[in-house]
Amino acid sequence: MPHRRFEEASGSWLQRRDRQPEVMDQPGLDRGLHAQALGTLERVNRLSRTAAALWEPILRLARQTTSCPPLRVLDVASGGGDVAIELARRADRAGIALEINGCDVSETAVSFAQESAARQGVTNVAFRRHDVLREPLPEGFDVVTCSLFLHHLDEEDAGRLLRSMSTTARRMVVVSDLRRTRLGYLLACAVCRLLTRSPVVKVDGPLSVAGAFTAGEALALARRSGLPEATAKSIWPQRFLLTWRRP
């Protein structure tokens, strides 16, 4: 599949989303293969500075907040927890009072995240199992974040999730995801071949880019979904950062 897609990427195929089932999304995925894939995605997120991109608007908001209670952050579809853990670590280094919760539908991912946080001694982060597409998001959070999840969803579900995030967030929504570009596709093919032995990531990486939104599409979707003040910008490497603050 990735080889065929590589050839098609030189044509007009990337002009629209091409969502296909990803291995990571399949029920019954072997726990060992799932954990291996989560470890690989942690390395990819570190190289891509995913947490750093999310942290910038959170830090700005925190510095504008004069109240004493910790800023509460919900990380939707938190996967292996590496992004949430890194946000918690950055808050500690900056002297920012931050309480972060991650939620994911996968019990394997939640267990992986809990073990990672415990191993690293990060205490201001917690993880729970939660199906964000079928259950209302937990309440009481100032910021709701999401990374590398929107491209897994069809437009209707993606719009519904953005509406739910904006309803739950008392202050801000921040979303980071892949951009559907030719360069992004080529990078995904190269990175997944060179940096991992995970068969799951080798297949899912290029498929993720093929199913991703462009920054413009994500912004238009957000505005149609009740976030008219949302902004979006392209960030390295071939990703977008969508931000919405409550008026």
Q: Give the pLDDT score at 177.
A: 98
All structural domains of the chain, each given as residue ranges with its CATH number in brackets, are 2-245 (3.40.50.150)
Below-70 pLDDT ranges, the chain: 1-13
Neighbouring residues of 218: CB distance < 8 A, sequence distance ≥ 6: 150, 175, 177, 232, 240, 242
Q: Give the pLDDT score at 3.
A: 39
Backbone angles phi, psi at 208, to 5 degrees: -65, -45
| Paired sense of beta strands 239-245 and 169-178, if any | antiparallel
How does pLDDT run across 156-205, given as a tens digit for each residue?
A: 999 999 999 999 999 999 999 999 999 999 999 998 888 788 999 999 99
**Helix-helix angle 31-48:107-120, to 10 degrees:** 60
Cα(68)–Cα(61) distance, integer angstroms? 14
